């Protein structure tokens, strides 16, 4: 997948596009992307995902300063590429850009810059200043430029429409399996391995401390999780803890993310790791002694192996 941070550089024949934030790239998004790639192939053209960054809510409204996202921009690129998208165009979102009307966007961006032929839209999707561009208006604005528009039906799980907010809610409640069902793939997080206190090694459970570089990355609640670990293109089984390590009694604790990779002992400091969350095992607990903690960790590892070996 080619990534364009400057729309001036984009020039491909018969482009077919979709537009959205695509946080998480969930089942609803995947339905749109499937139709996008299908429509592009039918025209012997290129599929294009147009996304805005930073998130418009972060730019326009202070009340969303603490809003967290299912995928970072880099994680989103990887999932989009896995869906067979040919091109990703990232448009910097600013207050000035937000004033552009839907018709202005169609003319100045879709028609003049991208030379777009066809636009695939998700259910009830709107764009333009104050989201004023509904399907009827967009078609009216696009028609003079020969751009056709189609809008898909919502993707349902049960009777509910899949949305990024639904996935975020599931993750915030620790409902990993529900979130994974809505996503159509395991929720994952990427980060760099950094130095820790090495306490895990002393008690037989060495852990790799993961530094999540993007502060806007959404993480599930504190607790222990069964995870799959991707390191240097190899997969491992593991269990991951999010929290403050209360049993260890550190002063001024910082929330940490640390993973115990089962049957793995190599030095991996400064390497990038990706952890896929499979199931929440338990809450983070403050034990009375280190021995109690070790006994529980053995139970956690046994449970994690049972879960991971059966998926």
Whether the predicted pLDDT of 23 surpasses 80: yes
Max distance between CA atoms of the chain, in angstroms, equals 73
Whether the predicted pLDDT of 251 surpasses 60: no
Whether the predicted pLDDT of 57 surpasses 80: yes
What is the distance between the alpha carbons of residues 19 and 37, in angstroms, rounded to a whole number? Answer: 14
Query: When comparing pLDDT for 223 and 12, which is higher?
Result: 223
Which region among 78-82, 125-129, 166-170 has the lowest average model confidence (pLDDT)? 125-129
Q: Is 272 exposed, middle or buried (0-12, 13-18, 19+ CB in 10 A)?
A: middle
Question: For 183-234, what is each residue's pLDDT tens digit?
Answer: 999 999 999 999 866 666 667 888 999 999 899 999 999 999 999 999 999 9
Residues in the chain: 311
What is the distance between the alpha carbons of residues 177 and 217, in angstroms, rounded to a whole number? Answer: 19
What is the distance between the alpha carbons of residues 243 and 257, in angstroms, rounded to a whole number? Answer: 7
Query: When comparing pLDDT for 11 and 272, which is higher?
Result: 272
Q: What is the mean pLDDT of residues 293-301?
A: 95
151 backbone dihedrals φ, ψ, rounded to 5°: -125, 130
In the 8-state DSSP scheme, what is residue 21?
-
What is the distance between the alpha carbons of residues 112 and 35, in angstroms, rounded to a whole number? Answer: 24
Q: Which two tokens stand for residue 114?
A: 């991208």
Whether the predicted pLDDT of 250 surpasses 80: no
Tell me the whole-structure pTM to 2 decimals: 0.92
pLDDT value of residue 167: 97
State the DSSP H helix or E strand holding residue 73, giving kind and residue range, or none if neither. helix 73-82
Query: When comparing pLDDT for 159 and 307, which is higher?
Result: 307
Q: Which two tokens stand for residue 197?
A: 């206190």
What is the distance between the alpha carbons of residues 299 and 262, in angstroms, rounded to a whole number? Answer: 13
CATH number of 186-308: 2.40.30.30
Q: What is the mean pLDDT of residues 231-259?
A: 84
Of 246, 247, 225, which Cα lies nearest the Cα of 301? 225
Whether the predicted pLDDT of 27 surpasses 80: yes
Residue extents of the structural domains in the chain:
2-158, 186-308
Task: Evaluate whether 257 touches 245 at the Cβ level (below 8 Å).
Answer: no
State what percent of residues in the chain have pLDDT above 70.
94
Strand order across the 87-92 sheet: 2-4, 87-92, 46-53, 15-19, 118-121, 148-151
Average pLDDT, rounded, for the chain = 91
Say what angle helices 176-183 and 164-172 make with each other, to 10 degrees.
160
pLDDT value of residue 252: 45
Strand, coil or helix: what is 39?
helix
pLDDT value of residue 62: 86
Of 193, 201, 189, which Cα lies nearest the Cα of 275? 189
Beta-bridge partners for 190? 274
Q: Is 44 exposed, middle or buried (0-12, 13-18, 19+ CB in 10 A)?
A: exposed
Does the domain made of 2-158 have the CATH classification 3.40.50.300?
no
Question: For 270-295, what is each residue's pLDDT tens digit?
Answer: 999 999 999 999 999 989 888 999 99
- Asked if domains 2-158 and 186-308 share a fold, the reply is no
Question: For 83-136, what is each residue's pLDDT tens digit?
Answer: 999 999 999 999 999 899 999 999 999 999 999 999 999 887 777 766 666 888
Beta-bridge partners for 249? none
């Amino acid at each position: 997948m080619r990534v364009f941070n400057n729309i001036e550089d984009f020039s491909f024949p018969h482009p077919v596009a979709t537009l959205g934030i695509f946080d998480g790239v969930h089942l609803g998004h995947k339905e749109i992307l499937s139709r996008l790639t299908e429509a592009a192939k039918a025209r012997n053209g290129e599929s294009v995902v147009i996304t805005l960054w930073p998130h418009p809510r972060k730019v326009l409204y202070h009340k969303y300063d603490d809003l967290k996202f299912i995928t970072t921009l880099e994680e989103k690129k990887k999932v989009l590429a896995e869906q067979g998208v040919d091109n990703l165009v990232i448009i910097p979102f600013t207050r000035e850009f937000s004033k552009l009307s839907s018709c202005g966007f169609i003319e100045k961006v879709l028609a003049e810059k991208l030379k777009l032929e066809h636009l695939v839209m998700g259910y009830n999707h709107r764009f333009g200043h104050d989201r004023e561009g509904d399907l009827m208006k967009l078609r009216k604005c696009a028609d003079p430029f020969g751009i056709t528009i189609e809008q898909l039906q919502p993707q349902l799980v049960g009777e509910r429409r899949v949305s990024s907010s639904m996935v975020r809610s599931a993750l915030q409640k620790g409902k990993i399996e529900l979130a994974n069902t809505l996503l159509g793939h395991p929720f994952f997080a990427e980060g760099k391995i950094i130095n820790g206190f090495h306490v895990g090694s002393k008690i037989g459970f060495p852990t790799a401390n993961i530094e999540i570089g993007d502060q806007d990355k959404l993480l599930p609640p504190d607790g222990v999780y069964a995870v799959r670990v991707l390191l240097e293109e190899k997969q491992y089984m593991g269990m991951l803890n999010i929290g403050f390590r209360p049993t260890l009694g550190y002063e001024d604790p910082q929330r940490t993310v640390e993973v115990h990779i089962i049957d793995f002992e190599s030095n991996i400091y400064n390497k990038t790791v990706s952890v896929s969350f499979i199931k929440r095992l338990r809450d983070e607990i403050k034990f009375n002694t280190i021995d109690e903690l070790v006994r529980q960790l053995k139970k956690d590892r046994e449970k994690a192996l049972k879960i991971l070996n059966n998926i």
